[in-house]
Chain A
């Protein structure tokens, strides 16, 4: 459909990583997003990683104001937004300054030449013009006066020059679309739809896009053209989804699968707020979203709703979880279903709120007073957030327990193509509310015991409104069975053991070893490191070495076969975006000499970094 038909002279590459960078006001997220969409429609596999500045609006042109979006497209299945980008689009000097270091040697730099004036150079801390010195000698430079060309192209549309200037990101997009042979129509259609009714803007953006596209042709950039063929992907319908949206949809799905109304009690916090935003747009699924006064009220309201028979959820990030500990403890004691979603971010304290980290695992396991065990699960990819939200609900409902669902800032915002599941294939979540007496007392009278247990050791979910079985529950220790307050020591010991056993007995799928079962080295990961580990393992194995990978979704309880799996490998490494937390649990549980591989710089592992680790560990540190 485009020039990239067979027989073209355009060289092929298997994959390409492009990084769009510019000032916060330059619309880089949107540009990246559109490029991604076009690539998705074209059929590439892909993964994205947006990175925003911490300030709402840092001063224009400043280093702090640089906003970036990385997209990795490929002709085969990939797992991450890529290591070093091959192409950097830098819309101003500040973007060039902050982002250049990440580019591969020999990579392509595309700049908006118009912005390289003294004022902007000074703001970026350049004492010279990098377009002229040696700064870029190691790269292939495309220096296009995007602003002026855009203005020029738009001059007959009746758009004010300042407004026309705003369309320069579409110029960049047009240029990249030409260079990498992206389909053009979807973007034009998107412009029409997005700015519907604002005709001048539609015209300016269309014009800028076309001008950029034409620029490639006319400026003879043909030798920059490469093509990344569509990937072979399983048949089906795809959408490009980020983790927070997938998670929100997974919660909606859990509501539909269980037939329960959803109640989200939440307090805004980066990077979790978007789940609140997304769910508040879908109330027609019987979704109530309640923006509480703080995180404690958020979980409290969700717990209240759960007590009332709703699917109670609270979403937050690290600092918010630190506030919810006491109420989680109550939920443990009440044995009610509840989902606590933690989109982890850089800590401690306020830390790096817009950067990713996964250092809340131990808090998830142990951050409550007393013995208060709780299932913990973690999503591994953006789309997996959908599945794990359902899994969290399934566990919470079936075992009447609060469940901690972990994601992180990286999963939250990055996206990947998701083969949409057939809604009919999703397994229903059976619900059973207690409906009447379940016990006979000493006098032969029928009574209701709120802590009588089923085969899973779960107590009845007995919701207010049910006739006859009125009862009281609370955070004081209860007599097992009757649920009456009990200060009896033996019963307390029994209840503590029972609460522990109830969680420990939850069946979770065995882990599967990917890679070489007979390797020397096993990498054990959890959460969002999956992509980087899988990619690194593939690269290393492609180079002929042996290595294995196991990835945990269920962190509490752990898969039953994990100990055996671990014991099969002489070396076990645990890459984590923290100082080593899962590794502590593995060492404790299985007494294996697993060792940590840490990254805590606010960014996910790249496959390259882990590849290097593996090579070093397997005896080659080339």
Chain B
């Protein structure tokens, strides 16, 4: 079966981010979305550790330990960007100023519940960071993930079995096999990769899936 590469998923997410959007890209895989944002459009990247207008990684040797992103990697600031403290940074989230947040996930429910901070393993050391704030803090939360675990279990589920990060907060799920709208109405298939049918997705996920309506197709 055809599968999108992680870069291809990132590129697909990037297509749904309009010019002028304020966007937070979560640590890890979502960071790659930045590489596919169109150079001719102004899109504002927010990093919750306190900057807006985040630019690309610095040239080797130009790293500044005081200029990092939420993943603690060196970054740059675009001309016109600015710095602020953590309270103002999370105020931007909580008050709904971010248009889009892109996150990874362990599981997403068809209703948009998100589980991405803990596997619930009893011996694990818990760590949540900004995940819960981001989950409830953007107008639209996009999840990017492989649809299936290595064992073939669906990560798009009827109900999350892992500890929740946020309730009813995800709007779209971008995967290697298709793009889904999730929410109060359940899951809808916006598109599938070439050679993957709606029935394939139903079989793989085991959750009810219908094609998206015209409205649901608009990001």
The answer to whether A and B belong to the same complex is no
